Amino acid sequence: MRNGDTIHAVILGSAANNDGSARAGFAAPGVDGQRKLILDAQAIAGVEPDELGMIEAHGTATPLGDSVEYAALCQAFRQGTDRERFCALGSIKANVGHLAAAAGFAGLAKTIMALKTGMITPHPTFSRAGSAMNLEQSPFIINTTPINWPVKGLRRAGISSFGAGGSNVHMILQQAPVRISGKSKPGWRAIPLGGRSANALDTLSTSLAEMLAAKPDTHIDEVAFTYAEGRAAQPYRACLYAKDVKMLIDNIRNTDFIATAQVSEPQRLVIALGPGIRSSLSMKMPGYWQEVDRLLTELPADLSHNISRTDITEITESDGSREKIANVLAMIAAINCWRKLISTPIFIISDSCYDLAVACSLGMLTLPEVVDKLLGKVPRYLARDCVALPGSFWSRQHGMVDGNNVKAILIADALPILPRENEVISANDVILAFSRLSDSFSEMVSNAENIIRLDAFHEEDDKAFVELVSKLWQRGLVIDWSVLRGGEVVPRIPLPVQPLQRRRCWYTGSTETEYKQEFYADQPVASPEISAEPVGVYVERWKRTRRLLPISSADNRNWLILYNKNCKEVCPIADVLRDLGQKVFEVYENCVTPFHETEFIVNFDDPTSVQHLMLMLKKQQVDTPDHVLFIFGDISPDCEMRAGEDRFPFTLFNMVKALSQVGNKAISLTLIGQGFIDITGSEPRIIERATALASISAISQELPGMMVKVIDTPTKEICRLNHAQQIVAELFTADDQQAIGVRQGWRWERYFEAVSPSVSREISPGMICLVTGGLGTVGFGIAQYLATKFNAKLILLVQTPLDLARSDTLQSQRLAELRNIGADFEIITANVTDQARVLAELSRVESILGEANCFVHAAGLSGQAAIQWLQNSDQHDWEKLMHPKLKGAAVLHEIFANRPLRFGCFISSLSVFAGGLGLAPYAASNEACAAFSSMHNLDKPYFSIDWDGWEGWDESNSFKYSVNRARPLCHADVVNALNIIFAACHVEPRFAVSTVPLSERLHDIVKTPLQVDTEKPVITSLSASGRAIIDDMAAIWCDVLRCPIDHESNFFDLGGDSLVGAELVRQVNTHFNVAVSMVDLFESSTVASLTMQVKKKRNEGGVL
């Protein structure tokens, strides 16, 4: 009622039940179930049986069904009344037959029409009732001719709809409340009409005139409101103008109105500011004086001039302070009104006469700051002749400012002189000129009619403003017609629509399927440019390559085998290695280990304990390991389903920290066990092991010489001799695979298959999506896509409350972008790991938007906070990364466990495959989220996306200095990828997005072979001179980088990346007998600064 909608009827109450075992058979109805259903519906609706004048029965005309339904109705009515023959009984099936799935709705439509018209539809073929029905003494009548509804007060009716299996529904309806139409205010109204063709538009106007002639009491406001705000945009448009219905009928019948053909929405409206912005026409805009009053209240309290509406009305060129302020207020009010009226993005062209008004309207300056500028009281940051705006550029030459859906440009000279107009104006722009324009504008736009000049409209004509707005609408602009309504509540009424026209649709077939890429609105996620190279979307696949065969000999190596606490059975791998002449030392987690004349216990979670073990082995030179095996035991029955079990990645991080700080030669670390990968799609996967696998690329990049590999094989196979021999054969295989699977002696390798673009799936409307991290870069980008592509309602979860009073924050700008595209959204504040808080906030906003039926989990640390160098961080830091991803996924899983769910999207990072400097913990935390998704996607519509870096995400340049310098994802990449993913997410559980071919990227990461036995004689006596150290350092750099080097040469400026850095760090450690790491190189990236790091470590006793 408040929105002016047409109310056809009111549903007072409804009930549904099932007959259960009380029915005679699956298709047989039950009396008791139907009787209870009718009584429940009446109780919920709060009505008595004798208040009902009509029952629309299910009425299938079957002897059993009709007799059971009639008996249930009689019993239900007799519990509340003894009246006879007061309620019309019937079923629309007697008139139109059984409409199957649409039968219930047909009955609802019939009942609504009876409530509206007071006329009950007859049953023309009814002749007599069965003798057993006793119709004469029942509450019911069956009419064979139309009858008036004889009732005092409100008309009410009941409807029944039953289904096979005993499912029953009954509904109580009441006639719609009577709406009292108010009087229309005097003035001109614009009636916008649209059609698919010129003929359809002509037929629509003729039908409208005929209907209004039959109903002359119709209000002109109702007609204008219904067509302006209740009809979809059409390619052919015409606008009629009238003060009342009689004038509108005359205009239709006697005036040849002009229809604009094939209009599409322009990219933007270009407003060329000029003196016309202060014209009396602007003052006729709805809401103009309310905006003026608002601005007057914002003037500084100590202002000596008392500005009033009179000052605004009087247009003057005086240079007095009062006149200057009044002029600026008038311009700000006019610009703000145009911004409210036009929903299409606006581009303002201004000169110095209007710069302060534009800056204030866009929120870049406050009104008191503008007044200070006019009065000469200029703050320091406004002291110059330009307006300096944070994050933007507004100059006297050529600059732009973003503000919601508005951009502005300030030029040096007054219009119409515009430098480089063709760089500013697009061919399909519509230009609204408030001053005279140069002829060059006409050459730049595709249609001269797209230039609308204010001087073409007579300012004193009351019809001028509605004509101007209508002209803009006919050129394709999106108009917020509610602004013209001025807040008045106007009912929407049934009016003619354009006629349905026959159109021939014939499929001719083609040899190739054409694919048309879909893009959503031109709102930037990261950057608006279109990518020249298409983004790649990939899915993980596994292929069987070859059978592993035992080997009979191998080069001698030193092996350290670590067994975790789950290893309960004897593993013969150590024996197989010894048979090959290898030196092997074995350590069991938390068990006493004898060593020469002593014994010790190793805690794998303690890096100090692991480092102590390595130092003890180093004392016995023959036992110094260059290969470490970490062998896992069996999987406990519930381990694969636990979301909180995330110990091992932290164990791995502590272990590689310790191993990298002992010795200066390369170490190979191989993880052997089950649960790292899922080859068949149904194998058990353990989150803590999957996260370890995801981190090995980043570990190898951050810690040069630490090569980590995973061999996934069932535990029962490890414990068999022949399978152990095959595992050992793999250990001596040199290849670039960081993870392989071994199943029954066969070797499985991972590869990635590109997902081909396909036609988008039809997704039903009504998407209500919860987005965690909803105002972060990725969360916001996906939320914006869903709102535009699928018209989804959004629930954006943020961890900390927003400061909505500030418009210059990134969050405020993103909220403004959502409003500009018409998104329906709410913000909730909660920690995603706090289930109770999330549920409470969700319940609050679901009462507004409806129940959430899908989610995107994008919460978690990113940017600089995601960089955790292993050498400079500990488990506390790693848990801060892991917790929101993994615990947040578990919380969402619990919240949506019993809800109808369309999809659950878990956001991960491509670092799980490609690594990145300092990204090992970050990769592990993202894999925890993706692994959680894969563990549950058999019974839930879950999928995950491993995203490449987005523009603006990588503040630390971790991706920039990786081996393969892939460009970040831009706006077009994100749109393309999401189009592909949402077309295939029902058949694929996981997607990887990369801006370069993924196979090339991963090959570059692992292409350097593991170097063993490469230790060079260390320099034990260095010159005390710092000059000798720095000269040696420069020589190493020159040898590695193959270019001239001086002491201030910067590693990254010389083209260094993580691969070159790994070799440089290795040679520095070998030459100087110290333990510098990649983080040292990253933070000390010149020859001189890295030399200082070496001297510092030597002085601290960090010599190896």
What is the mean pLDDT of each successive set of 10 residues along the chain, which is 1104 residues long? 84 92 71 93 95 94 87 94 93 91 94 94 87 88 90 90 87 90 78 88 92 90 89 88 91 82 72 77 82 88 76 70 85 88 82 80 84 73 40 38 59 43 60 67 63 66 81 86 81 87 68 37 39 78 90 87 79 90 86 70 79 74 76 66 59 84 77 90 86 90 85 88 90 85 91 81 85 93 93 93 79 88 92 94 93 94 82 85 92 93 94 87 92 90 92 51 65 90 90 88 56 40 60 87 84 75 81 80 85 82 50
Q: What is the pTM of this model?
A: 0.51
Supply the pLDDT for residue 1008. Answer: 43
Instruction: For residue 240, report the phi and psi dihedrals to the nearest 5 degrees.
Output: -110, 155
Domains defined for the chain, CATH in brackets: 9-175 (3.40.47.10), 189-264+461-485 (3.30.70.3290), 269-382+407-417+432-449 (3.40.366), 552-634+646-722 (3.40.50.11460), 768-1007 (3.40.50.720), 1029-1101 (1.10.1200.10)
> Which residues in 16-44 are b (16+ Cβ under 10 Å) and which e?
ebebeeebeeeeebbbebbbbbbbbbbee
Instruction: State the Rg of the chain over Cα.
Output: 38
Contact status, residue 548 vs residue 745, Cβ threshold 8 Å: yes
Supply the pLDDT for residue 499. Answer: 85
**What does the alpha-carbon distance between residue 268 and residue 369 come to, in Å, rounded to a whole number?**
29
CB count within 10 Å of CB 332 equals 24
Q: DSSP letter for 1030, please.
A: H
Q: Given strand 167-175, what is the order of strands in its sheet?
A: 9-18, 167-175, 156-163, 54-56, 87-90, 140-141
Angle between helices 998-1006 and 687-702 (to 10 degrees): 70
DSSP notation for 309-342: HHHHHS-----SHHHHHHHHHHHHHHHHHHHHHB
Lookup: tokens for 670 = 């191989």
**What does the alpha-carbon distance between residue 913 and residue 916 come to, in Å, rounded to a whole number?**
9
Instruction: For residue 967, report the phi and psi dihedrals to the nearest 5 degrees.
Output: -70, 155
Supply the pLDDT for residue 1015. Answer: 42
Supply the pLDDT for residue 382. Answer: 47
Residue with tokens 């001109």: 188
CB count within 10 Å of CB 261 equals 11
Contact status, residue 753 vs residue 539, Cβ threshold 8 Å: yes
Residue with tokens 């109805």: 29
DSSP notation for 166-230: TEEEEEEEEEPPPP---PPPSS-EEEEEEESSHHHHHHHHHHHHHHHHH-TT--HHHHHHHHHHS
**What does the alpha-carbon distance between residue 1036 and residue 1030 come to, in Å, rounded to a whole number?**
10
Lookup: tokens for 465 = 């403003």
Residue 249, strand partner residues:
none
Q: CB-based burial of residue 683 (10 Å sphere; 0-12 exposed, 13-18 middle, 19+ buried)?
A: middle
Nearest residue to 463 via CA among 269, 188, 275, 743: 188
Dihedral (Cα; 287, 288, 291, 296), 10-degree rounding: -140
> Which residues in 465-484 are b (16+ Cβ under 10 Å) and which e?
bbbbbbbbbbbbbbbebbbb
DSSP notation for 366-379: -HHHHHHHHHT---
Contact status, residue 899 vs residue 851, Cβ threshold 8 Å: yes
Angle between helices 220-229 and 245-254 (to 10 degrees): 60
Instruction: For residue 267, report the phi and psi dihedrals to the nearest 5 degrees.
Output: -65, -35
Handedness of CA 1098, 1099, 1102, 1104 (dihedral sign): positive
**What does the alpha-carbon distance between residue 1045 and residue 1036 come to, in Å, rounded to a whole number?**
10
Contact status, residue 172 vs residue 47, Cβ threshold 8 Å: yes
Supply the pLDDT for residue 24. Answer: 61
**What does the alpha-carbon distance between residue 1033 and residue 1027 come to, in Å, rounded to a whole number?**
10
Residue with tokens 């009226």: 341
Supply the pLDDT for residue 138. Answer: 93
Q: DSSP letter for 88, please.
A: E
